[in-house]
Structure 1
């Protein structure tokens, strides 16, 4: 059996050292077919290269990553877009996803995780850094015809069963924070976080964090 074809990747970032680091981390898992540092050169270069995946920074000289994507998305329907940014702001995540990106990962991602993310996007999957998924689910829930209006309160009666502390833990869990990060934010031990998390899932009758994130987005609690 022949080895799978390596994705052809185009890098867009305004820092040359970042591009060099990304290229190094990707190694021979991909074929880098070009790179650019600003909106205009990115549009021209991607149009010429027609890559499988564009790794796209969100903030660029002369505009932003969304401008690159919007300029080429219709013209290059076979190219998939993966945002790679230092920003984890909800407005950045939602804007680039609405523009057509297939995923959004932050620059804290490890080399192996980045290689896997590029491969998955090339194959048609969507990929998000864990704590960013809640932003997208929230935006989807807010625009869904069946979603509760923004002024509506959460309707799930399970919410009333949670203590104030459990609600805090629930929201941080749903946003993708680790137990250790939650403990640091709330000044409680990891063991206490684990206990609260178990209580939250039990009271809401949920099985795992993914279900909790969907539940929190539906009830506009993220």
Structure 2
């Protein structure tokens, strides 16, 4: 047996010896169902999903009530996003006896999203392309206090925390909500309003409202200026 195989076997044995209690926070019910199915398909019984939530308020309520070991947290949620959940659950993450640890699980691989939730207190960040077995392993590692990142994303965090001269927050970007940032990036990538609405599961009218809010907050006149602004900040 190779060293890698021995490590995998040891991890599998460790996972079957104990239960990690998990709460799923994502605003898409089908995705939450899919995550549960993926975890079950790994053949382990080590992950016990004890609650679900679809927005910030639900997340805070469920996490506070269940006190799970790990929260799988989407970055973009109705009510203020994953960062708001982390802010309102700060006392739980800092609990010395039974800390609740957060692992971001998001479709976004944007640097500002990764850095935002890590600054907010999350222990790791993986994208939704992760496999079921790798997700189970990540959950156990975060439960044990490790920091876990999808390979490419770790560089964002290292760069952000290594450059002490860089300002911790982009004040202009910080004026935008999580959803406005999503719309901003998609506009800058050339998506039409109808395409954005379809991708974010919102109406075209809501997209128009978000774009108007972004232009107003950033004091820009049109989507061409917005694209230049986003490109200059490497948000595209």
Do they superpose with TM above 0.5? yes
For residues 1-222 of structure 1, what are the structure 2 equivalents within 5 Å? 3-27=16-40, 28-76=45-93, 77=95, 78-143=99-164, 149=165
Q: Partner of 1:125: helix, strand, or coil? A: coil
Corresponding residue of 1:220: none
Task: Encode CA deviations 1:13-58: one digit per residue, 9 max, x unaligned.
Answer: 0000100011111123300000000000110011000000000000
| Pairs aligned (count) | 145
**Partners of 2:17 and 2:46 within 8 A in 1:** no
TM-fit CA distance, 1:75: 3.4
Q: Partner of 2:91: helix, strand, or coil? A: coil
TM-fit CA distance, 1:69: 1.0
Task: Encode CA deviations 1:125-175: one digit per residue, 9 max, x unaligned.
Answer: 1100000000000011013xxxxx45xxxxxxxxxxxxxxxxxxxxxxxxx
Task: Encode CA deviations 1:163-211: one digit per residue, 9 max, x unaligned.
Answer: xxxxxxxxxxxxxxxxxxxxxxxxxxxxxxxxxxxxxxxxxxxxxxxxx
Structure 1 unmatched ranges of 5 or more: 144-148, 151-222
- Aligned pair in 2 of structure 1 residues 119, 75: CA closer, same or farther (>3 Å)? closer
Q: Partner of 2:37: helix, strand, or coil? A: helix
TM-fit CA distance, 1:106: 0.2
Task: Encode CA deviations 1:46-91: one digit per residue, 9 max, x unaligned.
Answer: 1000000000000001110110111012235210000000000000
Structure 2 unmatched ranges of 5 or more: 1-12, 167-236
In the superposition, the TM-score normalised over structure 1's length comes to: 0.63
User: Equivalents in 1 of 2:55, 2:85: separation in Å?
Assistant: 9
Structure 1 segments (4+ residues) deviating >2 Å = 1-4
In the superposition, the TM-score normalised over structure 2's length comes to: 0.59
